[in-house]
């Protein structure tokens, strides 16, 4: 944490950007350690990766908080591990910069139908 908090990280990333097209830093889950929030401030973009049926609903709510408080310059969300065969008779549509689906919770703008009826079976 001490090394990350100082400007050592910013200088290191600047040097790496001179040499490489992309610099990818994998961190611990946000909220677990402070390093992730510190690293997020110097990143050009952050990707919040969630696993369907594993990430708690609070994790999705936290994405809203991060966006609202502008904690990161750019924040994208990836939901992986979706088993589309379990999502029969469901349809969703989103537009704009944000959307999500799975287990009856999501984020963003759009519309959908069929999820409630199919989840009661």
Residue found by looking up tokens 């939901």 in the block: 79
Q: Which residues pair with 78 in a beta bridge?
A: 49
**What is the torsional sign of CA 100, 101, 103, 106?**
positive
Residue 113 has pLDDT above 60, yes or no: no
Range with the lowest mean pLDDT among 55-59, 64-68, 86-90? 86-90
Q: Give the DSSP H or E segment for 111.
A: strand 110-113
How far apart (Å, rounded) are the C-alpha atoms in residues 51 and 12?
A: 31
Bigger pLDDT: 1 or 12?
Answer: 12
Radius of gyration of the chain (CA): 17
**Spatial distance between the Cα atoms of 25 and 46, rounded to a whole number of angstroms:** 9
Note the pLDDT of residue 15.
93
Q: How confident is the model at residue 16 (pLDDT cuts 50, 70, 90)?
A: very high
CB atoms within 10 A of CB 78: 10
Instruction: Yes or no: say if 92 and 105 are a contact pair by the CB < 8 Å rule.
Output: no
Query: Which of 76, 8, 78 has the alpha carbon at shortest distance from 38?
Result: 8
Between CA 63 and CA 59 the distance in angstroms is 7
């Amino acid at each position: 944490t001490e090394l990350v908090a100082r400007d050592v990280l910013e200088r290191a990333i600047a040097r790496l950007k001179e040499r490489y097209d992309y610099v990818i830093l994998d961190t611990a889950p946000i909220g677990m350690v402070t390093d992730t929030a510190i690293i997020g401030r110097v990143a050009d973009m952050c990707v919040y990766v969630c696993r369907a049926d594993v990430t708690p609903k609070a994790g999705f709510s936290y994405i809203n908080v991060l966006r609202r408080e502008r904690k990161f310059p750019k924040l994208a969300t990836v939901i992986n591990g979706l088993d589309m065969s379990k999502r029969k008779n469901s349809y969703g549509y989103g537009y704009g910069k944000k959307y999500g689906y799975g287990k009856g919770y999501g984020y963003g703008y759009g519309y959908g139908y069929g999820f409630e009826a199919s989840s009661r079976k």
